[in-house]
Structure 1
């Protein structure tokens, strides 16, 4: 498995992955945020591939000097193989390189089911960003 930065040629397979993994409402919200993040800082969108096939992706953002894991998606056939963890570790490294003051997990209605996954990686409830104020990549 390889984790790397998003490339323009990844757009179609990534959108297909997101459409497959996310609910319709989550997909629509994620695509807007995804487009904004790509235009602002595409280095915080990472892709996981196996044999040149895209099997996972993560969208991160930096807002007010805090790093946020916004959305992670892994193809159902490749879940529980460490791909999500690799994506999170890689994005954490990018956040650390940029000296963010804190790393948070966006805990919106769509991420609630995977919060235990983040907890298994050492994150705690204090690291979950639950706010009525939306992140810039969501609010526009």
Structure 2
């Protein structure tokens, strides 16, 4: 499936799973109806607790990203592309607010912040 768990991440393991599955949906790598590994199989593959994978799947189901069918497994739910985009934009806005607040604490002007953003954006394009 391609999920990679980082022991150095500040995010708990279940959150890392959630984030990576969402990313795969956003990028179109996982599409509506695609089957996910069983909770036990994913736990075995990642060498983590079944409880951790169960928690990740439950959260994904609550958020509408997956559907679980008793006896059949878990599948990627149909996604409304506009709703997904709105969710991502909200997350971006929250991160930007954090950056703005930090910039103000460090007395970084909006022009300096803009220059940083432009530079990083271009560097990312070059990768």
TM-score, normalised to structure 2's length? Answer: 0.33
Greater Cα radius of gyration, structure 1 or 2: 2
Higher strand share: 1
TM-score, structure 1 normalization: 0.31
Greater relative contact order (CA < 8 Å, ≥ 6 in sequence): 1
